[in-house]
A and B are shown apart, each in its own frame.
Chain A
Amino acid sequence: MSDSSVNIVEAPAGVEGAGFFATSLDSLVGLARANSLWPLPFATSCCGIEFMSTMASHYDIGRFGAERLSFSARQADVLMVMGTISKKMAPVVKQVYLQMAEPRWVLSVGACACSGGIFDTYSVLQGIDRIIPVDVYVPGCPPRPEQILDGFMQIQELAKNESTRRRNEPEYKALLASYGIE
């Protein structure tokens, strides 16, 4: 394997020396957070099958640190809502979001989760951002695994760069308050 074809990730800004590397704690924590996200796959319909493709060996979301899926909301970092959310299911999504511990991000995968998709009907919630705050939207019906990975990488950017005390910031609190979440 020649080195020219391997892309090495850039290290954060810092001071390097013989046997040591000094950087800010925030960037280190950011790196650690971004590359070890535990997703909660809230797969309801067709996008869930594309997520299964993303999890399988061909597209492999494990490369991005998300090898360990967490179905327990308490232990999860990213809530990946994949598929149509009907009005009957909406309280369940909200409950799962409330059970997640900070820091938490929400990835809305698929047209149905982003905006109701092709189902403009009486029984479908027109987008999960009506009930929970969403960080990254991945459109598509269903989105290809590469698109889901792109969305996941954007969440990684958020995890890397957001302040570790985001939960105490006034904008975040105002956002949650607008959804009625304490």
Chain B
Amino acid sequence: MSEIALVNNPNVGLDKTQKGGPYVNELSTLNLGPTHPATHGIFQNILTMDGETIVDAEQTVGYIHRAFEKIAERRPFYQITTLTDRMNYCSAPINNMGWHMTVEKLLGIEVPKRAQYMRVILMELARLTDHIVCNSILAVDTGALTGFLYVYQWREFIYEIYEEMCGARLTTNMGRFGGMERDFTPVAIEKIQKLLKELPAALKEFEGMVMRNRIFMDRTQNVGGISAERALNYGFTGPNLRAAGVDYDVRAMNPYSSYEDFEFDVPVGTKGDTYDRFLVREEEMWQSLRIIQQAMDNLPEGAYHADAPHYYLPKKQDVYHNMEALIYHFKIVMGEIDAPVGEVYHSVEGGNGELGFHLVSDGGRTPYRLKFRRPGFIYYQAFPEMIKGTTLSDAIVTMSSMNVIAGELDT
């Protein structure tokens, strides 16, 4: 029928003289969000649709704007770690460690090898949790609910490891300037070994269900693609950029915290569509397991924090018995120690890409200006371009595969 052919034609216009009457080719508006079961986080898209096909999308973000950058100007450095937790809350340790490394760069603190390896292990565990969520929820959005339930158990297990190390599950506030607050406990080491032994089987089970599943492949291949040039122009980083074909990984390019000691591959896709993003994240999970295995095998002995008494809180036993420790404790907590003047930028490979911290310090107790370079905010701009001409269900799957986390989007 001619009307159907016209409606599915991507070159639509509002020509009311066309055959089929004035009601063919009329565009409709659909409000997707901010509360929607399939948008993972609160952001709104007002879609202009021609029948089932999306013609344009107008985005509104800021529904969870919490003014992190303004708060950061009022908090001493160690209190900002709790803010960084809440940006990409699926992989909080990466944000914490990134912030600590930024401040250590400013203060000139050298972190011992053991602490660096511990940080690598915890950051890779966080990457695992982030990618588990993204991939399993992508499968849920296409209707495959079981995979989510299977791998989520392992996410709970990683939470138990976090609890051993810092006491919290999700908003971890892990680590301190100069290293970690405590060494790996025997329980933590046992749990990490168990994870390394048993998570591969669970991942293989998940992949067996979803990765070569005809329905999943039909839903995600050639959907929401972006070329490498457009992705670079839009400032994409992380798995989304690597799926488009550019092998930019901050861990490989500007290694930090001893990443140069580890051997790992950086998976790269070809077409930049949803299926490639899923595969890149899946492969990154295997590489994370590889890194954790290497780090656990070669974990060096030594201190788990640097000798920086001006910035690292002394042990409580020392504070009660040693005058010097008491004075340092007082000075650190009451803010008598000022930071040096300077400007520093440090970036880490977050779950979504290059997470950067631009810190301008004027010598006071709090930063003068702290800018968070959030990958989610930057690549979400490309979403209208990626969904133009697709259907609504494809748009949902594209959004899900991009892993837009509202906390990171809006700070």
Contact = CB atoms under 8 A, between A and B. Distances in A.
- Whether the complex brings A and B within 8 Å at their CB atoms is answered yes
Interface stretch (A8-16, A18-26, A41-49): A41-49
Nearest to A57: B149
Given A45-B89, A49-B89, A86 B63 contact: yes
A118 interface: yes
Chain A interface extent, by class: 20 to 34
Contacts of B149: 56-57
Contact of B406 (A45, A122, A124, A144): A45
A84 interface: yes
B67 A119 contact: yes
Contacts of B170: 46, 49-50, 142
A121 interface: yes
Interface stretch (A28-36, A88-96, A101-109, A166-174): A88-96
A123 B90 contact: no
B64 interface: yes
B369 to A, nearest CB: 17
Interface string A112-142: 0000001101111000000000000000011
A50 B169 CA distance: 9
A71 interface: yes
B71 interface: yes
B221 interface: no
B34 interface: yes
Contact of A121 (B71, B86, B159): B71
Nearest to A96: B35
A100 B156 CA distance: 33
A52 B37 CA distance: 12
B153 A57 contact: yes
Contacts of B407: 45-46
Nearest to B137: A52
A165 interface: no
A151 interface: no
A102 B155 CA distance: 37
B70 interface: yes
A83 interface: yes
A75 interface: no
Contact of B64 (A49, A52, A86, A96): A86
The A contact surface, by secondary structure, is loop
A89 B63 contact: yes
Nearest to B71: A121
B148 A56 contact: yes
A53 B170 CA distance: 10
B194 interface: no
B316 interface: no
A143 B159 CA distance: 14
A156 B25 CA distance: 50
A58 interface: yes
B112 interface: no
A124 B67 contact: yes
Interface string A49-65: 11011001110000000
Interface string B49-93: 000000000000011111100110000000000110110011000
A58 B406 CA distance: 25
Contact of A42 (B35, B71, B82, B406): B35
B66 A119 contact: yes
A178 B86 CA distance: 33
A144 B169 contact: yes
A56 B89 contact: no
Contact of B67 (A42, A45, A83, A122): A122
A58 B170 CA distance: 16
Nearest to A120: B71
B256 interface: no
A58 B156 contact: yes
A20 B149 CA distance: 40
Interface of B: 34-37, 41-42, 62-67, 70-71, 82-83, 85-86, 89-90, 133, 148-149, 152-153, 155-156, 159, 169-171, 406-407
Closest 5 CB pairs of A and B: A71-B37, A121-B67, A46-B89, A56-B152, A89-B63
25 contacts: A44-B41, A44-B64, A45-B86, A45-B407, A49-B170, A50-B170, A53-B152, A53-B169, A56-B155, A58-B153, A58-B156, A71-B36, A83-B64, A84-B64, A88-B65, A89-B63, A92-B35, A92-B63, A119-B71, A121-B66, A122-B67, A123-B66, A123-B67, A124-B67, A142-B169
Given A45-B407, A119-B67, A142-B170, 20 more contacts: A42-B35, A44-B64, A44-B406, A45-B64, A45-B89, A46-B86, A46-B89, A50-B169, A56-B148, A57-B149, A58-B153, A86-B62, A86-B64, A88-B63, A89-B34, A92-B63, A121-B70, A122-B70, A123-B67, A142-B171
